[in-house]
């Protein structure tokens, strides 16, 4: 990465070409054009200027060359250089067979010298596709990802969540918050510049599994309508790295109300609401859907492993223009978020550097997976971009991007890239695990 490399000189009857590869996928063409090309370019320039100008006593395009040169010499010279550059670059592309990055790629041009007698020397520079390495599947290993069998407890837990969705809610007014209650809360981060709303009217269950310990300790014993201030703390179960990066914040919690659910029974009537014929069939289908979900999560963990492995083993440059575009896209998504606006200047700088790193990794992974797909003729079919949903129960487990029937063109393109990426990763994973 980041090395200059030169190719052996190339030549034909019209030009001599030296190709140099520079960092960030920039290619430089150093071209010596033969006098025949330069003279031909001069004739083309003369004709072009003559067609665009008029002189007294002559019809358009019919004035003698010497008069065109005398009256429009600077225009001829400008057009001449342009024609030399166009013809020389066209010949250089034929010899080098190095494509521009895309149709919008900009070609930089510098003319060194040009005469009718001796020809011309010039240079071009432009971005091209990365030199994506070929992956050696035999050199890759993955740690075994266990598949979790779905037990009745998992099915019952999911059934409980379905019941909560269809529950009726009764307010609790005669006592404070206790374990097992549901609360409607607002949470604000108390910044020096003023409070910043984290979430509004969120329904949370006060328990020892899903709720953060510091939040649970704050709300236990509070009454509906009461406000309390406290300090957020990192999750004790988080990784050491996440805990190290976590910065406690002063927060304010408003318990707007305390509620308890009146759950519907798990019967055929509930089953009908989610598209199943009976409670027994609902439980059976739920078990199948949960098992599929676990298998998808297992495959996702393998993909994460593979992504880290590929990025670690295969380092190569990506075009600066694409990297800049990707960074700007990612920055645009976060600069207005409350979390980013609350950061100090130093924290923002660190976040931007992290985004640059992530953007570069995303581009490298894209090019690696695209090469895998091309080399192995992997493709995305129209049916891959849509997930059919027949019941509300299936909708609970559906991929939202796939299930959306009204995708925009941008959403379709992003989804196509994601599916192709996953197919390429799955192909490599299957090769390694075989």
How much is the pLDDT for 112? 96
How much is the pLDDT for 304? 96
CATH class of 5-127: alpha beta
Of 14-23, 48-57, 393-402, the one with minimum mean pLDDT is 48-57
How much is the pLDDT for 57? 55
Which part of the chain is CATH 1.10.3120? 137-147+278-433
55 band by pLDDT with thresholds 50, 70 and 90:
low
63 band by pLDDT with thresholds 50, 70 and 90:
low
Residue 171 has pLDDT above 60, yes or no: yes
How much is the pLDDT for 131? 92
167 band by pLDDT with thresholds 50, 70 and 90:
very high
Residue 68 has pLDDT above 70, yes or no: no
Which part of the chain is CATH 3.30.70.1050? 5-127
Residue 56 has pLDDT above 80, yes or no: no
What confidence tens digit (pLDDT) does each residue in 103-139 have? Answer: 888 999 999 999 999 999 999 999 999 999 999 998 9
347 band by pLDDT with thresholds 50, 70 and 90:
confident
234 band by pLDDT with thresholds 50, 70 and 90:
confident
In the predicted model, what is the mean pLDDT of residues 230-251? 77
Residue 243 has pLDDT above 70, yes or no: no
Residue 80 has pLDDT above 70, yes or no: yes
In the predicted model, what is the mean pLDDT of residues 58-68? 64
User: By CB neighbour count within 10 A (0-12 exposed, 13-18 middle, 19+ buried), where does 13 fall?
Assistant: exposed
* Domain boundaries 137-147+278-433, corresponding CATH code: 1.10.3120
Which part of the chain is CATH 3.10.50.40? 168-262
How much is the pLDDT for 60? 62
- Average pLDDT along the chain: 90
Percent over 90 (pLDDT), the chain: 71
Residue 394 has pLDDT above 90, yes or no: yes
* CATH T-level assignment (fold) for domain 168-262: Chitinase A; domain 3 (3.10.50)
Question: Which residues, 6 or more positions from 142, have their beta carbon under 8 angstroms from its beta carbon?
Answer: 302, 305, 306, 309, 429, 432, 433
User: Nearest 5 degrees, angle CA 207-CA 209-CA 211?
Assistant: 60
How much is the pLDDT for 104? 84
* Helices assigned H by DSSP within 314-344: 320-334, 338-341
382 band by pLDDT with thresholds 50, 70 and 90:
confident
In the predicted model, what is the mean pLDDT of residues 361-376? 95
Percent over 70 (pLDDT), the chain: 93
Check residues 192 and 379 and name the one with the higher pLDDT: 379
How much is the pLDDT for 75? 87
- DSSP letter at 325 equals H
Q: Do 14 and 33 meet the contact criterion of CB atoms below 8 Å apart? A: yes
CB atoms within 10 A of CB 218: 23
What does the buried/exposed string (b/e) look like for 236-270 if buried means 16 or more CB atoms within 10 Å of the residue's CB? eeeeeeeeeeeeeeebbbbbbbbbebeebebeeeb
User: By CB neighbour count within 10 A (0-12 exposed, 13-18 middle, 19+ buried), where does 337 fall?
Assistant: exposed
Give SS3 for 32. strand
How much is the pLDDT for 4? 67
How much is the pLDDT for 244? 66
């Amino acid at each position: 990465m980041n090395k200059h490399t030169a190719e052996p000189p190339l030549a034909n009857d019209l030009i001599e070409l030296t190709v140099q590869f520079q960092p960030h996928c920039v290619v430089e063409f150093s071209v010596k054009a033969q006098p025949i090309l330069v003279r031909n370019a001069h004739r083309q320039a003369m004709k072009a200027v003559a067609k665009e100008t008029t002189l007294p006593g002559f019809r358009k395009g019919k004035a003698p060359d010497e008069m065109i040169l005398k009256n429009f010499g600077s225009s001829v010279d400008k057009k001449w250089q342009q024609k030399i550059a166009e013809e020389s670059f066209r010949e250089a592309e034929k010899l080098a067979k190095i494509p521009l990055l895309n149709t919008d790629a900009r070609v930089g041009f510098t003319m060194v010298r040009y005469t009718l007698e001796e020809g011309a020397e010039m240079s071009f520079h432009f971005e091209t596709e990365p030199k994506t390495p070929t992956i050696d599947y035999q050199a890759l290993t993955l740690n075994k990802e266990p598949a979790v069998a779905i037990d009745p407890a998992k099915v019952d837990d999911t059934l409980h969540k379905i019941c909560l969705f269809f529950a009726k809610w009764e307010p609790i007014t005669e006592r404070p918050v206790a374990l097992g209650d549901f609360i409607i809360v607002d949470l604000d981060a108390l910044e020096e510049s003023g409070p910043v709303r984290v979430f509004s009217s969120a329904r949370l269950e006060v328990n020892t599994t899903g709720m953060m310990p510091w939040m649970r300790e704050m709300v236990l014993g509070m009454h509906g309508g009461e406000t309390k201030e406290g300090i957020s703390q990192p999750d004790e179960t988080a990784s050491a790295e996440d805990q190290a990066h976590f910065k406690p914040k002063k927060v304010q919690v408003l318990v707007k109300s305390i509620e308890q659910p009146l759950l519907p029974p798990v019967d055929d009537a509930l089953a009908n609401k989610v598209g199943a014929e009976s409670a027994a069939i609902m439980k059976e289908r739920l078990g199948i859907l949960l098992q599929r979900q676990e298998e998808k999560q297992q495959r996702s963990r393998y993909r994460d492993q593979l992504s880290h492995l590929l990025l670690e083993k295969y380092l190569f440059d990506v075009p600066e223009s694409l990297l800049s575009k990707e960074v700007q896209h990612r920055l645009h998504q976060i600069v207005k978020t409350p979390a980013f606006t609350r950061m100090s200047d130093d924290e923002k700088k660190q976040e931007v550097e992290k985004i640059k790193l992530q953007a570069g990794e995303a581009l490298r992974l894209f090019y690696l997976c695209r090469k895998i797909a091309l080399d192995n003729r992997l493709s995305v079919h129209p049916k891959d971009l849509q997930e059919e949903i027949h019941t509300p129960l299936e909708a609970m487990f559906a991929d939202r991007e796939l299930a959306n029937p009204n995708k925009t063109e941008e959403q379709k393109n992003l989804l196509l890239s994601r599916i192709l990426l996953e197919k390429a990763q799955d192909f490599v994973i299957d090769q390694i695990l075989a």
